[in-house]
Amino acid sequence: GVATLTARMGAACEGTRAMVLDTRKTTPGLRAFEKYAVTCGGGVNHRMGLYDEAMIKENHLYLSGLALGEAIARIRKAKPTAFLTAESESVEQAKLAMEAGANVVLLDDFTLDEIAQAVELRSSRTEFARVQLEISGGVNLSNIEAYAKTGVERISIGSITHSAPALDISMKVERAT
């Protein structure tokens, strides 16, 4: 189930700085249980809801008409100490998020080469050292090790909750003699 798949993903990250995180993609009504199972498997909860982490995704930018830097600035003005993740769809956008003050830059559907560029960019400027890099999109058991070796701190994986296989359990009842 969830804990087993999380543990397998985590084992593939051993020897790197990457940790496995869940996402907001949980089964309705089962979020607390699935997120608990992630921690039992050695993973980390991304966030429980909007109250514990601000997250700017591409849809927020499209709907608001704001540029990423402006959206981050508005959140920082309203809640200066908020933990803030900003999704980026390119290395250039990741740079803007780092410059604007995001705590985490989510590299969404980046290739391994693009991730390497973002890691190098973060390493190139001292003020970016505080920024954690997170990857998401298309991560599975067959490729997570390669992603973990890129130098990112966080790998968020929706499939550990929304697609974890159920444990096949059966029970045979016998008549007492």
CA proximity to 53, closest of 168, 123, 156, 175: 156
pLDDT tens-digit series, residues 116-174:
999 999 999 999 999 999 999 999 999 999 999 999 999 999 999 888 888 788 889 99
Residue 16 has pLDDT above 90, yes or no: yes
* pLDDT at residue number 41: 97
Full strand arrangement of the beta sheet holding 154-156: 19-21, 154-156, 132-136, 104-108, 84-88, 54-56
**Largest alpha-carbon pair distance within the chain?**
76
Helix runs in 13-150, H state only: 31-40, 58-64, 68-78, 91-100, 112-124, 144-148
Percent of the chain with pLDDT over 70: 100
Percent of the chain with pLDDT over 90: 83
- Domain 2-162 in CATH 3.40.50.720? The answer is no
Structural domain boundaries of the chain? 2-162
| Beta partners for residue 85, in sequence order | 55, 104
Rounded to whole angstroms, the Cα distance separating 119 from 176 reads 64
- Collapsed DSSP state (helix, strand, coil) of residue 169: coil
Residue 33 has pLDDT above 90, yes or no: yes
In angstroms, the Cα distances linking 102 to 59, 65, 88, 99, 128 are: 17, 19, 11, 8, 10
Rounded to whole angstroms, the Cα distance separating 19 from 15 reads 11
